[in-house]
Amino acid sequence: MKNIYLDYAATTPIREEVLLEMLPYFSEKYGNPGSFHSKGLEAKNALDNARQEIASLLNCST
């Protein structure tokens, strides 16, 4: 029988390609972007880059 999931308002399954891109942020790049230590600055840089990429795709500024 095929599984049908109807609670997408609460959570959704993660597509494999998204999970693969996110794995480093669960295991090595896990810093708090609000912190000033090296892990935090690395996370802030990644977050800023992601914001810039999304803004560019949407043709807007950050």
The three-class DSSP label of residue 14 is coil
Print the domain residue range for 11: 1-62
25 vs 3, 18, 34, 36, CA distance in Å?
30, 12, 15, 17
**Count of structural domains, the chain:** 1
- Cα–Cα dist 31/21, whole Å: 16
Question: What is the C-alpha end-to-end distance of the chain, expressed in Å?
Answer: 46
* pLDDT tens by residue, 19-62: 999 999 999 989 999 999 999 999 999 999 999 999 999 999 87
Give pLDDT, residue 61: 81
pTM: 0.71
**Rounded to a whole number, what is the largest CA-CA distance in the chain?**
51
d(CA 29, CA 27): 6
- The pLDDT, as a whole number, for residue 37 is 96
